[in-house]
């Protein structure tokens, strides 16, 4: 047991970090491994590879992801900003490179091979952009001569342009929603909400008109007879088959014919094998983490910490909500991973970085009392001169 009198770096971290948030993230990570055992062997068999291939790779990435999250959580807000800047620059360079030398799949270039691993740079871009945008907005509020909102908007436009060029409309929409939330939390005038809403609606309409795959997914959502709805139909069957208590671990059958059951549709596999009750418990864990993070943001007196924490938690929550909604056919299909649960090294590492930033920004830090401030002011050189 670590004493509160211990002044070692580990003891300081342990007594200042939000251990409930840490526990929530670890529960989700472990849940990802458990559900990988349920969902991925069927996919591996269809691909004629080792049945435990995806499980081994998920476990392989889990260890560095957990270590990375805990290491980042020990950073100060200043070093969080520096880390985010470095991550943003590297991610932007990799996204540009992806357009030229990235792997092409289904007409899109979103992945790049590095040192034998496939990396999706856009996953790492998201948390970096949110932290930098929060810093610029906070600086703009503190120093009127700094055009914080304009600069952060330029960073967002650059990022969105690269995402559209891949193309990856889903990630673009996700990033736009989070950026809009940041602007709103930064004190957006109500008079500006309507024009921004119209602009966002115009972007959605433009994507529908100009991107055939977006139009196809929206049409199939509104009218199932307009095209192939095989994935969604199988996902709904999985929920019906599992009912409240599930068919039991390893007893699922629909997962064997459900494409991408270990990534986009892992929530449906959880429903079939473990039941709707377990899905609701998983939902409660996500809700607990998001609400606790937003509570920290609301109580933070530092504008940067408040905006960055809120933005990262909104990213986490919206991404989880989109994945679950797609599985339940509540919105058009989109390849969006379930944070910490779906298979994917880039997604797992990027989300670990994101939540490491959150843990770092929400750590309790001593605040000088009013009497201490008075004493300091009286001892200042200006006062003594």
Q: Do 12 and 2 touch, CB atoms closer than 8 A?
A: no
Q: Output the CA–CA distances (angstroms, integers) from residue 153 to 136, 158, 159, 220, 316, in the order listed.
A: 10, 9, 10, 33, 21
Q: Output the CA–CA distances (angstroms, integers) from residue 82 to 5, 73, 85, 97, 225, in the order listed.
A: 31, 14, 5, 23, 51
Q: Could you tell me the pLDDT band of residue 373, with boundaries at 50, 70 and 90?
A: very low
Nearest to 263 by CA among 178, 356, 348: 348
The pLDDT of residue 1 is above 70: no
The beta-carbon contacts of 275-278 under 8 Å, at least 24 apart in sequence, are: 275/242, 275/243, 275/244, 275/245, 275/246, 276/239, 276/242, 276/243, 276/244, 277/244, 277/245, 278/246
Crossing angle of helices 169-185 and 190-210, rounded to 10°: 180
Q: Give pTM, 2 decimals.
A: 0.89
Distance CA 333, CA 325 (A): 9
Alpha helices in the chain (DSSP H): 9-16, 19-46, 53-72, 77-101, 121-142, 148-165, 169-185, 190-210, 212-222, 230-242, 266-274, 276-299, 303-327, 345-361, 370-378, 381-384
User: How far does the chain reach from its first CA to its final CA, in angstroms?
Assistant: 49
- State whether residue 74 is helix, strand or coil: coil
The pLDDT of residue 142 is above 80: yes
The pLDDT of residue 138 is above 80: yes
Distance CA 210, CA 218 (A): 13
Verify cis geometry, omega within 30 degrees of 0, for the bond prior to 167: yes
Q: Which residues pair with 103 in a beta bridge?
A: 111
Q: What is the mean pLDDT of residues 20-26?
A: 96
Region of poorest pLDDT, from 125-134, 305-314, 317-326, 361-370? 361-370
> When comparing pLDDT for 163 and 224, which is higher?
163
């Amino acid at each position: 047991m670590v004493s509160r009198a211990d002044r070692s770096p580990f003891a300081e971290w342990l007594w200042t970090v939000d251990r409930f948030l840490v526990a929530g993230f670890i529960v989700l990570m472990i849940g990802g491994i458990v559900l990988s055992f349920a969902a991925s062997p069927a996919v591996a068999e269809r691909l004629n590879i080792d049945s435990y291939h995806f499980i081994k790779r998920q476990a392989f990435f889990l260890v560095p992801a957990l270590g990375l999250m805990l290491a980042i959580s020990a950073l100060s807000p200043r070093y969080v900003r520096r880390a985010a800047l470095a991550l943003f620059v590297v991610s932007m360079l990799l996204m540009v490179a992806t357009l030229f030398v990235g792997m092409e799949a289904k007409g899109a270039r979103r992945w790049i091979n590095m040192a034998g691993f496939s990396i999706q740079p856009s996953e790492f871009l998201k948390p970096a952009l949110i932290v930098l945008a929060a810093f610029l907005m906070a600086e703009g509020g503190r120093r009127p001569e700094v055009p914080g909102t304009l600069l952060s908007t330029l960073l967002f436009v650059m990022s969105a342009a690269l995402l559209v060029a891949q193309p990856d409309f889903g990630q673009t929409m996700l990033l736009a929603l989070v950026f809009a939330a940041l602007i709103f939390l930064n004190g957006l005038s109500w008079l500006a909400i309507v024009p921004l809403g119209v602009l966002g609606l115009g972007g959605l309409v433009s994507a529908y008109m100009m991107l055939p795959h977006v139009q196809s997914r929206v049409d199939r959502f509104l009218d199932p007879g307009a095209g192939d709805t095989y994935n969604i139909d199988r996902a709904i069957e999985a929920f019906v088959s599992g009912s409240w208590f599930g068919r039991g671990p390893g007893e699922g059958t629909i997962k064997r014919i459900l494409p991408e059951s270990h990534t986009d549709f892992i929530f449906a596999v959880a429903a079939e094998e473990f039941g709707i009750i377990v899905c609701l418990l998983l939902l409660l864990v996500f809700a607990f983490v998001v609400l606790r993070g937003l509570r920290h943001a609301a109580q933070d007196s530092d504008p940067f910490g408040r905006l960055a924490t809120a933005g990262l938690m909104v990213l986490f929550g919206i991404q989880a909500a989109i994945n679950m909604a797609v599985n339940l056919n509540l919105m058009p299909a989109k390849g969006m991973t379930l944070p910490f649960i779906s298979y994917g090294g880039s997604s797992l590492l990027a989300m670990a970085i994101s939540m490491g930033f959150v843990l770092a920004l929400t750590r309790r830090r001593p605040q000088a009392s009013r009497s201490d401030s008075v004493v300091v002011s009286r001892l200042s050189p200006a006062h003594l001169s």
